[in-house]
Amino acid sequence: MELSDRQEEIIEIVKENGPITGENIAERLHLTRATLRPDLAILTMAGFLEARPRVGYFYTGKTGSELLTEKIKKFKVHEYQSIPIVIKESVSVYDAISTMFLEDVGTLFVVDESSNLIGVVSRKDLLRASIGQKDLNLIPIHIIMTRMPNITVCRKDDLLIDVAKTLIDKQIDGLPVVKDTDIGLEVIGRITKTTITKAFVELVLDKHL
């Protein structure tokens, strides 16, 4: 986060004189305690300062990049997952292409009659199936999909940074967020490269403190 000149000055005062009370910081800056309170709250919430009751403020010794890294490492999948786009295994390749186009997604999750995850279809899969085929209505999606157990999944309490690394390592666009049930894996969400980008943008803009 970008700090104001006054916030930078507060950090320097606490760094040199901590522990120091809010009243003493206000005196050094020739400000009222009420005027200073929002700045102290921001610096404490962002992690630059630590406040201890009846003691005062301490400098944590952490740089902006270190604090940014700490925040990223705390993000969980459930905070950013979006609605999954699922299709039945009986639909045709043509219908799958139509769904992908209408929903504007790069990955479709295939489920059985009990809504359990059984496959995944990507843009590349559909493009490959389309080449040289005369009637895509006659090709069921289960013929071309990637099947379990060869599907990478994630769960709602997984760390977002771990999922981002998986997307990069496996060179895929998205992962299904699943919930374990007695009869299989229920798809409850999706995480994509766009999701990761959104999370990082929000972090930089200080919308996820």
Assigned CATH topology for domain 77-201: CBS-domain (3.10.580)
pLDDT digits (tens, 9 = 90+) for 128-141: 888 876 789 989 99
d(CA 205, CA 79): 17
Averaged pLDDT, 51-55? 85
Judge whether 190 and 175 are in contact, CB under 8 Å. Answer: yes
Tell me the three state secondary structure of residue 175: strand
Residue from 53, 66, 76, 68 nearest 159 by CA: 76
Q: Domain spans of the chain?
A: 5-62, 77-201
23-27, 72-76, 85-89, 201-205: range with lowest mean pLDDT: 201-205
d(CA 66, CA 47): 10
Strand pairing class (174-181; 184-192): antiparallel
CATH of domain 5-62: 1.10.10.10
d(CA 87, CA 167): 22
Within 8 A by CB and 6+ apart from 27, the residues are: none
What confidence score (pLDDT) does residue 205 get?
67
Residues in the chain: 209
| pTM > 0.75 | no
Helical H runs in the chain?
Answer: 5-17, 22-29, 33-46, 64-72, 93-103, 123-130, 160-170, 193-204
Place of tokens 């009990």: 114
